[in-house]
Amino acid sequence: MTTADWEERVSAAWARVSALSDDEALKLVDALVAERSETDAAAAFEAASVRDYLGLESEAEPHYRRALELGLDPARHPRAVIQLAETLRTLGEFEQSIHLLTGWLADHDDHPLAGSARAFLALALTSAGRPVEAVAVTLEALAPLLPQYGSSVAAHARGLG
């Protein structure tokens, strides 16, 4: 079986997950993960993602860390960073979440998922008791989308943080 075949089956599994029980979803994805080697970063990511989806964040965290350690492809890497950061926030590790997202954003400010990362950063900042910084991050993310006053909003947002 090729990697492309496995990827297609993973996509098909995720298309079905919402219609399955938690146990069925976990078994489905874990069966696909078991087909890959223990050093397969994509498989580790999928193992993390299904646990995260099912609300098993404490089980998802080590899988995310392993996937990132092994080296993910460019499509999965940013998703793993964002999903791990949100998992950490859910687990009460707010500063780790903030550190992970700010570090990634420092190098990927123009990435298509940067806006999503900023949204989760705002959530982490809020959870950490830093609501003014959260508002600043949110407004800076929103500013480019405004038909007017975007630069003014961005400037004011920078003044908040």
Map out the domains of the chain as residue ranges. 3-93
Helices (H), 35-142: 41-53, 57-70, 76-90, 94-107, 114-127, 131-142
Provide the 3-class DSSP secondary structure of residue 130.
Answer: coil
Q: Give the global pTM.
A: 0.93
The arithmetic mean of pLDDT across residues 122-127, rounded, is 98
Whole-angstrom Cα distance, residue 43 to residue 49?
10
pLDDT for the residue 148: 94
pLDDT at 1 over 80: no
pLDDT at 112 over 90: yes
pLDDT at 161 over 70: no
44 Rama class: left (phi>0) / alpha (psi -120 to 50) / beta: alpha
CA atoms within 13 Å, Cβ hemisphere of 109: 6
Of 21-25, 86-90, 153-157, the one with minimum mean pLDDT is: 153-157
pLDDT tens digits, 39-87: 999 999 999 999 999 999 999 999 999 999 999 999 999 999 999 999 9
User: What does the mean pLDDT of the chain come to?
Assistant: 96
The arithmetic mean of pLDDT across residues 134-155, rounded, is 94
User: CATH number of the domain at 3-93, out of 1.25.40.10, 2.40.50.180, 3.40.50.300, 1.10.760.10?
Assistant: 1.25.40.10
Helix axes 76-90, 57-70, angle to 10 degrees: 150
pLDDT for the residue 160: 87
pLDDT tens digits, 84-111: 999 999 999 999 999 999 999 999 999 9
